[in-house]
Structure 1
Amino acid sequence: MENSKKAYKNPIRAAIASLLIGMVMRILHWPFSKGIIFISFAAILILYALRFFKKEEKKSVDLIKMALVLFWTTNGLLTILDFTYTLFFQIGTAFTFIAWFAMEGTSYFMSKEGDAKNSITEIIWNFVMVIGVLTLICGGLMHLLNWEYSIPTLTLGLTIVTSYILRDIFTAPKKNKDDINNEELYS
């Protein structure tokens, strides 16, 4: 299935964006953050499972991605419910992520021909995403070390990543050269 034609792509991205917003709310100790995180994890699990079962041809990498989502979301749901024995799901998430990265990894972001067909705008947005992820990592490390400005750094990183996801949801898909506008009507 081509990246632009994946089932439930935008609802899954919206659930991930709401998960990130819930995490920012939890860091800032705002009310209802646990509920938003719980609903987001549940929505990601349900939507991805529907997407998986809708797929006609399932490859081994698809099974690994489904297992990754299952372990990750189950761990998140049980953590929100203060379940103490989530180590199994954390280990499952780690192993399935390593397996996915070994099988698909960075090739997931490349075109089928192997060339990068990104415009300058896409390259800048991808750079912004990398900066957001690095800011998240730095903020998390700063928070672990009890340094000042860890919460604003985490919030900035989550805001950047969330804005990247929301921009991706709400932008119109690019037309390919192969797209022909209503040609069959004029034949």
Structure 2
Amino acid sequence: MPKKDKILKIPLRISLTIILLGMLLKVLLWPYAKEIVLFGFANTGILYVFRHFNKPQRKFIDTVKLVLVLSWTINGIVRVLDFQHTLFLQIIVGIAFMTWFVMEGTAYFLDEDKKAKNQKLQVIWNFAIVIGALAIIAGSLLNVLNWPYAIPLLVLGIALIAGYILKDLFIKDKIQNKDGSNEEFQL
């Protein structure tokens, strides 16, 4: 039975990628970086509100996710606009994240069909996300220390993470059309 796609999944992923790219442009001191980040945060918040209210049945965890996303996006907008006293929003983000993690946590990322296959392409993408996260951490730390090649390392990390977020746009058909000769047939 095919899994139902989540509402507004692709536009939300594009919004998250816009936020990442805007932050990268801000680090590189390029023009219009602030506006791109603001657009990404606002778009993410608006799209997630529509996603939440378009769900046929809402549970408590859905409301926790809505509070998490809205407080995170509002905090991002307020921080980009250089407003003071954002501690309240950061506390809400922290409480909502901890609530989500306790209720759902890493189970959110598990395969619902319990048929996860370690295909080469999926292993490569998982490796890319780890390398991207490590590159962002190392690039950020090295940038604080004013070391050479910190910015290219940060750019590489953000590009890998953005590619991972958008990977379903590029490889979804290749994974779904994979030969299913090892699977059972249901009559």
Q: In 1, Cα distance between the equivalents of 2:140 and 2:79?
A: 18
Higher relative contact order (CA 8 A, sep 6+): 1
Report how far residue 19 of structure 1 moved: 1.1
Q: Deviations over 1:97-127 (max 9, x none)?
A: 1221222121112123545334221121022
Provide the aligned C-alpha RMSD in A.
Answer: 2.1
Alignment of structure 1 residues 1-187 onto 2, 5 Å: 5-112=5-112, 114=114, 116-173=116-173, 174=176
Q: Which residue of 1 aligns with 2:184?
A: none
Distance (Å, rounded) in 1 between the aligned partners of 2:3 and 2:87: 32
* Residue deviations 1:72-120 (CA, integer Å, cap 9, x gap): 1001000111111111111211221122122212111212354533422
**Alpha-carbon distance in structure 2 between the residues aligned to 1:169 and 1:90:** 32
Q: In 1, distance between residues paired with 2:55 and 2:74? A: 22
Q: Deviations over 1:43-81 (max 9, x none)?
A: 000001100000011122111111110111001000111
Q: Which residues of structure 2 form unaligned runs of 5+?
A: 181-187
| Gap change, CA 1:38 and 1:135, over 3 Å in 2 | same
Q: TM-score, normalised by structure 2?
A: 0.85
Cα distance, 1:78–1:45 mapped onto 2, change above 3 Å = same
Pair 1:80–1:104, CA change in 2 (3 A): same
The alignment of Structure 1 onto Structure 2 pairs a total of residues equal to: 176
What CA deviation, in whole Å up to 9, does each residue of 1:18-64 have, x standing for no partner? Answer: 11111111110000000000000000000011000000111221111
Match for 1:151: what amino acid?
I
The gaps in structure 1 that reach 5 residues or longer are: 178-187
